[in-house]
Amino acid sequence: MGAVPIKENVYWVGAVDWNVRDFHGYSTWKGTTYNAYLVTDDKITLFDTVKESHRGELIHHLHEVLGGDLTRIDYIVVNHVEMDHSGSLAEMVARIKPEKVFCSPMGHKALLEHFHHQDWPYEVVKTGDTLKLGKKTVRFLETKMLHWPDSMFSYIPEDKLLISSDAFGQHWATSERFADQVAAPELMTHAAKYYANILLLYSPLVQKLLATVQEMGLVIDMIAPDHGLIWRGNPGVILEAYDRWSRQEAARKALVIYDTMWHSTEKMAKAIVSGLTAEGVSVQLLNLRVSHRSDILTEVLDARGLVFGSPTLNNNMMPRMADFLTYLKGLRPKGKIGTAFGSYGWSGEAVKHITAAMEEMGIELVDPGQKLKYVPDHDGLRGCVELGRKVAKAM
């Protein structure tokens, strides 16, 4: 794959990681990309680098555009310090010997004190600061906590181009570089999964950011994120989706998420699904043994009802349920209702522990939960159907 022109004198020079399958707990089952961009104006400027393992691809792409001489690059802009974007920064600074390295105040602190410990020729920029490159200008916008404290956007008004760091990305390795070159449903599924797993907890900040972009009057016809495909021509599609996702608007949809030991809790789960569907609710039945936590989060994004099931194991819930609830709690979903269920043998604490976790994360309990001893009988399952109906009616 070569460097790709995305605007006049602006190139994608990043790397495609076809093989990565885990991104701090997120299942990247179709890989990802680490996008970096090069602007060749009077001042030649590199925006972000790539994961250390992929620096060869970045160097190859830069050589291709610059005729083999990396020292022609004047500036490096570090929009985000996380290692998938700054992992090869030290080597790139050594090769390029830039006149300046631009970053946010938090980026400066992180790079100097915590990541690379080298006193590079930093220039710290804040929201509203501008940098003249020649014909093009860069306007900086700090985007704290989207997705780290140091994150920022770089906007080039002459190109109506927003280089957006982690925001608006997708973990999806493709040979195409633009969103309009791939199938829209799959693209939006990857974008939704990315939002649900990385940005959901920062939804109030996303709302503020979208308002700031409007207030600043940024005219945008291309959004170039640090992962996945570039939105060109109609970036409104992803801006509108971020507005919707960050409002956490829910559909009449429920998830029944469970683990099971000897299929008793699974029988209860299926009975609850029957009750929900009888009331016209769209349901996903998700067994934690075959559904990855990060794929379930994609479904959580627009679900109103969350029903969790686990048998009791050693006075507690099953480990996969504990894993999932811990992950979910960190992402702080809003506006959810639900309950819990599970079979047990003698003590039966799983439902109590699950409902406590649900209350802790602000999920409204519509029922204290249903637990059944050993293998559920007909009456027990009828109670589970009723539990499903009860959740549906509360939605």
Active site residues: 24, 80, 82, 84, 147, 166, 194, 227
Kindly state the smallest distance separating residue 23's Cβ from ligand FEO, in Å.
Answer: 8
Residue number of the CB atom closest to ligand FEO? 82
Q: Is residue 190 part of the contact set for ligand FEO (CB under 6 A)?
A: no
CA distances from 39 to 45, 58, 146, 190, 389 (A): 5, 14, 24, 28, 58
Q: Is residue 150 part of the contact set for ligand FEO (CB under 6 A)?
A: no
Question: Which range binds ligand FEO by CB under 6 A, 78-86, 297-305, 347-355, 356-364?
Answer: 78-86
CB 124 within 8 A of CB 145: no
Peptide bond into 147 cis (omega under 30): yes
Pairing of strands 337-344, 370-373: parallel
For residue 390 the two structure tokens come to 């009860």
Q: Is residue 82 part of the contact set for ligand FEO (CB under 6 A)?
A: yes
Which CB sits closer to ligand FEO, 53 or 316? 53
Site string for ligand FEO, 100-139 (x = CB under 6 A): ----------------------------------------
Kindly state the smallest distance separating residue 92's Cβ from ligand FEO, in Å.
Answer: 17
CA distances from 372 to 268, 298, 341, 342, 381 (A): 9, 30, 8, 7, 9
CA distances from 70 to 67, 143, 156, 298, 327 (A): 8, 29, 22, 41, 42
Q: Is residue 166 part of the contact set for ligand FEO (CB under 6 A)?
A: yes
Half-sphere exposure of residue 176: CA atoms within 13 angstroms, side-chain side = 13
Of positions 148, 155, 195, 341, contacts ligand FEO by CB under 6 A: 148
Number of residues near ligand FEO (by CB under 6 A) = 9
Q: Is residue 48 part of the contact set for ligand FEO (CB under 6 A)?
A: no
Question: Which range binds ligand FEO by CB under 6 A, 77-85, 245-253, 259-267, 330-338?
Answer: 77-85
Give the length of the chain. Answer: 395
Of positions 80, 193, 267, 353, contacts ligand FEO by CB under 6 A: 80
Residues lying near ligand FEO in the complex (CB under 6 A) are found at: 80, 82, 84-85, 147-148, 166, 226-227
